[in-house]
Amino acid sequence: MPVELLGKSADELREFALSLGEPAYRGPQIYRALYAERRFDIGAMTNLPVALRARLAKETRITLPRIMRRFPSMDGSIRYLFSIGGPSGNPVGSRGEKSAQIEAVFMPKEGRQTICISTQAGCAVDCHFCLTAQLGLIRNLTAGEIVGQVLVALQENREQLAPQTNIVLMGQGEPLLNYDATMAAVRILLDPKGVALAPRHVTLSTSGIVPGIERLGQEKIRPSLAISLNASSDEQRDALMPINRKYPLAVLLEACRRYPLRPREYFTMEYVLLGGVNDSPEDACRVVRLLAHLRTKVNLIPWNPGNLPYRAPTGDSIEEFKSILLEKGVPAFVRYSRGQDVFAACGQLALIETASPLSTLQ
Ligand code: SF4
């Protein structure tokens, strides 16, 4: 079975080079070709000797997520539906290996692009406003599958890349429930010799998995942290996000207070505004109280009406909510989801694909 190179760290590639009887420095050379230069064909790794390339071509492979469909939006973003095979590369169906579909979105804006990627196929967390939840957890992604989504999106859009790349781990899945693979991918993304992104430009979004937040706080190299808050009381959050019964607001926010934020680092609180559910002025006041003494900003995300039984907030309620936060000194921004014309909500494409062949969408 060929050895998968994608997702391996520089140290792992160094050990691999030694196992082939090659000098250790060949490992970092492969690492650089893969992640910094985005060479996905061993033959194109011209920093390696010809004989080694020939051997690697036989004994290794580089498996990128396969693009099943691209959905370009009117607003310039492109939504990708990827197919991934079995995690160990064994044929799908053998030893319980499952293929899956995952989603990523490339969103260009002046001076930068943001790429939203998945960390699991499906998700077990069961947030009631999320379509991915309806898929259940299909499987964890490997580090190679996580970093591969970024590499494919960058490579696909190489002609129009802006100088800055932001990554948000907000696609399918709860990143902190696939901790090791997610962090292995993040280390490659943040490594100056790898994809070379700045830590403040890579954001991991969690539904509030407290042990994962505590573990992340101990990491030397880590992304920015966003918490999917979405409610102003336990009662409300229990109803929207059952994970709140395991990690209620007091426990979650205490973990945030203990989190060793670095200078200029802050939390982002994501708050999906659901019309008539969590968007009242009283909710806004409670959010202010919850976030007192936390270095945080709040992203207010008006709900997109879709297949779920929620309605969009009115323009007035969005403005009032935001004003209350700002008046009380809580930085707040309204963020509209992009790509709404191309099934923007996370999980939407995979759900549609599960239900009917994609060709019916053409
Ligand atoms: S919002 Fe995120 S954590 Fe919640 S079910 Fe959807 S993918 Fe999972």
pLDDT tens digits, residue range 97-123?
Answer: 567 999 999 999 999 999 999 999 999
Q: For 155-165, how does the pLDDT look when each residue is reduced to its tens digit (9 = 90+)?
A: 999 999 999 99
The overall average pLDDT reported for the chain is 90
What pLDDT does residue 169 have? 95
What is the pLDDT, as a whole number, of residue 351? 55
226 membership: H or E segment, kind and range: strand 224-228
pLDDT at 361: 27
The Cα 11–Cα 17 span in angstroms is: 10
Q: What's residue 356's pLDDT?
A: 38
**With pLDDT > 70 as the criterion, what percentage of the chain qualifies?**
90
Q: How far apart are the first and last CA of the chain?
A: 37
Q: Is 174 touching ligand 1 by the criterion CB < 6 Å? A: yes
pLDDT band at 336 (very low <50, low <70, confident <90, very high): confident
pLDDT of amino acid 337: 75
Give the residue-averaged pLDDT of 353-359. 40
Distance 120 CA to ligand 1 centre (A): 10
β-pairing verdict for 100-109 and 66-72 = unpaired
CA atoms within 13 A on the CB side of 255: 19
The CB of 173 under 6 Å from ligand 1? The reply is yes
At 179 the pLDDT is 98
31 CA distance to ligand 1 middle (Å): 32
pLDDT at 347 over 70: no
Q: Other CB atoms closer than 10 Å to residue 349's CB: what's the count?
A: 27
- The residues that are catalytic are 103, 346
Q: Which atom of ligand 1 is nearest to the CA of 131?
A: 6
Torsion of CA 341, 344, 350, 352, to 10 degrees: -40
Are 106 and 157 contacting, i.e. CB atoms less than 8 angstroms apart? yes
Q: Which of 119, 126, 127, 349 to mutate to test the pocket of ligand 1 (most atoms within 8 A of CB)?
A: 127
Is pLDDT above 70 for 96?
Answer: no
| pLDDT the model gives residue 99 | 75
Is the distance from the beta carbon of residue 270 to the nearest atom of ligand 1 less than 6 Å?
no
Q: How far, in Å, is the centroid of ligand 1 from the Cα of 6? A: 26
Q: How confident is the model at residue 289 (pLDDT cuts 50, 70, 90)?
A: very high
Give the integer Cα–Cα distance in Å for 102 and 165. Answer: 21
Distance 170 CA to ligand 1 centre (A): 8
Tell me the per-residue pLDDT of 69-78, one tens digit each, with 9 for 90 and over: 999 998 899 9
**133 Cβ closer than 6 Å to some ligand 1 atom:** yes
CA–CA distance, 352 with 358 (Å, rounded to integer): 7
Q: Is the CB of 206 under 6 A from ligand 1?
A: no
State residue 91's pLDDT score.
46
Residue 222 CA to residue 306 CA, distance in Å, equals 34
| Contact assessment for residue 224 and residue 200, using Cβ atoms and an 8 Å cutoff | yes
| Nearest CA among 172, 105, 141, 125 for reference residue 346 | 172
